[in-house]
Amino acid sequence: MNIELTPKQERILHDALQQGRFQSVDEALDAALRSLSTPTDAAVTKPRLTPVEAAAHIRELRKGNILPEGTTIRAMIEEGRA
């Protein structure tokens, strides 16, 4: 199989090799293909946050208050109102 890379793709690959992230082009392509065949847990299970939710989450993380997995600030607020 012949693959032609765009100049941008070549630059990305070259930079990754220069930074020592990969030892060879084959190793970089193997990593890229693995990422395509194995979806990350975050991409599969977590819904995308709105900007307001993301800001609230960041504020909580800065305080050191970590929410239980799957819990949102909004859900906690609604629970408090009940």
CA pseudo-torsion sign 32, 36, 42, 43:
positive
Burial level of 53, CB count in 10 A (0-12/13-18/19+)?
A: middle
Give pTM, 2 decimals: 0.44
Q: Which residues of the chain have pLDDT under 70?
A: 38-47, 64-67, 82
Element (H, E) at 25: helix 25-37
| pLDDT at residue 8 in the model | 92
